[in-house]
């Protein structure tokens, strides 16, 4: 004890400026002497704040999320907030359990990366939540991410500008807003180029294996395609690998484009042409918005979109005149 009351200790630690220099020094000295550390539980209880925000994602191992996470962490750390990561694994029960953290006070707010609306009643009243990357359908949850429709439009236009006409789209999993947004952008660009009759939506998915399967589908049903725009990078790599296994040369005979620009996109052979998302910035921006909510700032109603860009590498080129044969 430094000869002062606990009240003064608390003040010295939380708002050093309202305490006289003399006692402040005494308190800090005692703190470092004893190795005292504020008890978080008591603080949480009294303040009715946990100083923690919950990040909910479907799969921690997915490299797509890692940069977003770093962005979130950066801002959270600056603001002295802890982040608690909840891995849903795509399971509703896990999701529900994770949301419990908002009701029992373990977290003050949440960032939602799994694109699922919290079931009715599971979301505590007035708890700030922001969705990232994947919009949540039919909900008024504020959103931060990439304008997927626009980005897919740009990607498709790029392929068109190379001279491609028969461009297929390997779409993501059904019931996912990313899938719909990206398909819409693709379809718009195709229509605008007068290629309505070339619009081909190939059912695919987001995994490497999905891409391989979709490649066989393309070869079987759309053999005239000279380019495929895939819903994400992983499926694009699967698509390419399967095409190569079948003896096709990418991009000479068929161009393949991805979406996301994951770290591996530039290591894969051929290096992947793709749509770059500003993942770090998305994370930062979302976290900043959540901070605003936590200090009772008003919520924006329209989604916040961050810049995307087309990254041209070696998986796309001008088509052979005849298409591949």
Partner DNA sequence: GAATCTTATGTAATCGATTTCATTTTGAAT
Partner DNA sequence: ATTCAAAATGAAATCGATTACATAAGATTC
Q: Is residue 18 involved in binding DNA (CB under 7 A)?
A: yes
With CB under 7 A as the contact rule, which of the stretches 39-47, 200-208, 268-276, 310-318 interacts with DNA? 39-47
Residue 159: name its binding partner from its own copies, DNA, none (Cβ under 5 to 8 Å by kind). Answer: none
Q: Is residue 4 involved in binding DNA (CB under 7 A)?
A: yes
Using CA atoms, how far residue 300 sits from 127, 180, 281, in Å, is 15, 24, 18
Give the nearest distance from C-beta 139 to DNA in angstroms.
28
Of residues 125 and 321, the one with the C-beta less far from its own copies: 125
Residue 11: name its binding partner from its own copies, DNA, none (Cβ under 5 to 8 Å by kind). Answer: DNA
CA 272-306-146 angle, to 5 degrees, is 60
With CB under 7 A as the contact rule, which of the stretches 37-45, 132-140, 237-245, 262-270 interacts with DNA? 37-45
Of residues 50 and 133, the one with the C-beta less far from DNA: 50
Residue with tokens 């899938």: 179
Q: Are 276 and 308 in contact (CB under 8 A)?
A: yes
Burial 189-199 (b: 16+ CB within 10 A, else e): bbeebebeebb
Q: Are 146 and 133 in contact (CB under 8 A)?
A: yes
Residue 3: name its binding partner from DNA, its own copies, none (Cβ under 5 to 8 Å by kind). Answer: DNA
Q: Is residue 61 involved in binding its own copies (CB under 8 A)?
A: yes
- 50's tokens: 């946990």
Ramachandran bin of 194, using left for φ above 0, alpha for ψ from -120 to 50, beta for the remaining angles: left
Q: Is residue 80 involved in binding DNA (CB under 7 A)?
A: no
Can you give the C-alpha Rg of the chain in angstroms?
25
CA 61-207-241 angle, to 5 degrees, is 120
Q: What's 161's DSSP letter?
A: H
Residue 6: name its binding partner from DNA, its own copies, none (Cβ under 5 to 8 Å by kind). Answer: DNA
Residue 10: name its binding partner from DNA, its own copies, none (Cβ under 5 to 8 Å by kind). Answer: DNA
Pick the binder of its own copies from 1, 92, 103, 299 (CB under 8 A). Answer: 103
Burial of 173 (0-12, 13-18, 19+ CB in 10 A): middle
Q: Is residue 40 involved in binding its own copies (CB under 8 A)?
A: yes
Give the nearest distance from C-beta 100 to its own copies in angstroms.
7
- Element (H or E) spanning 274, and its range? strand 274-277
Pick the binder of DNA from 25, 29, 34, 38 (CB under 7 A). Answer: 38
Residue 237: name its binding partner from its own copies, DNA, none (Cβ under 5 to 8 Å by kind). Answer: its own copies
Q: Is residue 106 involved in binding its own copies (CB under 8 A)?
A: yes
Pick the binder of its own copies from 10, 23, 87, 314 (CB under 8 A). Answer: 87
Using CA atoms, how far residue 256 sits from 124, 224, 304, 310, 315, in Å, is 44, 14, 29, 13, 6
Q: Is residue 267 involved in binding its own copies (CB under 8 A)?
A: yes
Q: Is residue 57 involved in binding its own copies (CB under 8 A)?
A: no
Residues in contact with DNA by CB under 7 A are 3-11, 13-14, 18-20, 22-23, 36, 38-39, 42-43, 45-48
């Amino acid at each position: 004890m430094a000869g002062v009351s606990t009240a003064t200790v608390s003040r010295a630690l939380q708002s050093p400026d309202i305490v006289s220099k003399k006692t402040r020094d005494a308190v800090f000295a005692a703190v470092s002497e004893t190795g005292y550390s504020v008890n978080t539980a008591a603080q949480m209880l009294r303040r009715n704040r946990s100083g923690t925000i919950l990040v909910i994602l479907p799969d921690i191992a997915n490299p797509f999320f890692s940069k977003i996470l770093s962005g979130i962490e950066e801002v959270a750390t600056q603001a002295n907030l802890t982040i608690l990561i909840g891995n849903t694994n795509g399971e509703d029960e896990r999701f529900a359990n994770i949301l419990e953290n908002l009701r029992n006070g373990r977290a003050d707010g949440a960032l939602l990366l799994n694109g699922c609306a919290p079931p009715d009643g599971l979301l505590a009243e007035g708890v700030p939540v922001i969705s990232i990357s994947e919009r949540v359908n039919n909900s008024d949850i504020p959103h931060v991410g990439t304008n997927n429709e626009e980005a897919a439009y740009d990607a498709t236009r790029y392929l068109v500008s190379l001279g491609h006409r028969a461009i297929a789209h390997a779409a993501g999993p059904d019931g996912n807003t990313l899938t719909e947004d990206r398909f819409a952008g693709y379809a718009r660009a195709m229509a605008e180029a007068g290629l309505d009759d070339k619009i081909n939506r190939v059912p695919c998915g987001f995994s490497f294996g999905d891409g391989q399967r979709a490649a066989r589908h393309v070869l079987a049903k759309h053999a005239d395609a000279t380019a495929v725009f895939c819903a994400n990078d992983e499926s694009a790599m699967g698509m390419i690998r399967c095409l190569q296994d079948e003896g096709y040369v990418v991009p000479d005979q068929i161009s393949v484009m991805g979406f996301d620009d994951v770290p591996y996109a530039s290591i894969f052979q051929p290096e992947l042409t793709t749509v770059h998302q500003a993942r770090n910035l998305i994370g930062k921006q979302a976290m900043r918005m959540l901070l605003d909510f936590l200090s009772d700032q008003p919520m924006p109603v329209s989604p916040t979109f961050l810049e995307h860009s087309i990254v041209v590498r070696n998986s796309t080129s001008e088509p052979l005149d005849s298409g591949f044969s």
